[in-house]
Amino acid sequence: MKKTIQSVIMAALAISLLATSCKKDEETKTADSAPPTISFKDSLGATTYDTANFFVSPIIIGKATPTAGTTIDSIKIDVKIGGTTTPGVFEVADSAEKNGFVTVFGLKDVLKGAILVNGTTVSFTATVKDSKGKTASATISYTIVKDNGVVISKEIELGAQSNANIPYKFLGLANNFETYTAGSNGTAKNNSGNIDFVYYYGQNDKNAFGAPSNADGAKVIWATEINMWAKQNATKFRISTLTSTDFDNIKNGTKVEDAFVNIDFTGSETRDKITDVSVGQVYAFQTARGVKGIIKFTAIAADNTGSTKVVIICQN
């Protein structure tokens, strides 16, 4: 009986030691089987891009490395736009990737057809799986910002129709706010496609800016002139809720279009001329090419021999 008890104890001890040994072997194997490593980084170190450049500039550099004794088995990329995730699919790594890789790719290749709006977060998560089933992931995220920089003019002076001292009567956004002269030898005739504003002083309209297409003001005062033009652009105007102070804040501070980019020019308040303007008034406009902006009057004429001065802020 005593020998039998000893045998049972020895057997139990052996089982215990075997279990402990197996557990240690298992822990050792687990420790030896670390997951692969992967990193994602933007080539420029950027975290934001505007909608115009997102499909051009961003280049992601990805690097994956397996641990000793393993290879990279498969790879996938998940894309998340805002709150919606497009799950990737694990793709078998090719022979050149199995022992680790560095890859470079442009986001335009991943986001074909995607529509991105201001404020959206776009994330890319790359996951690699090794030959022992271990995985590792890395994520890079961007915030979409509006392509909302503005172009700001200097103070521009235009002469009224009877002002002989200031020859510049017409204005366009093109060529850094170019101004144009009237007459058969003037510059307006050959550049009519670039003219967005016609300045005149009318008996009823007083200081006025009209679209070149405006029939009851611009084409009355400047009938002979505009009849020579091959193109008469249909600029749209409307009164702006922006104050002179708001205008100056954009000009000197924010330098972005947020305050006027969403102004609607399809409603009944839209017109093709603005009249009887006063110093400090701010109006919104949209050119025939669809460029939006705001215009502030800094000086006005007393009659048709005087001049007006304006500063313009428009979309880049």
| pLDDT tens for each residue of 265-288 | 998 999 999 999 999 999 999 999
pTM above 0.75? Answer: no
For the stretch 155-171, pLDDT in tens is 999 999 999 999 999 99
235 vs 9, residue with greater confidence: 235
pLDDT at position 119 is: 77
Res 53 pLDDT > 80: no
Q: Which of 53-57, 138-142, 214-218, 256-260 has the lowest mean pLDDT?
A: 53-57
- Residue 6 binned pLDDT confidence (cut-offs 50, 70, 90): very low
CA gyration radius, the chain: 35
Beta carbons of 272 and 286 less than 8 angstroms apart: no
Is the per-residue pLDDT at 10 higher than 50?
Answer: no
pLDDT for res 170: 98
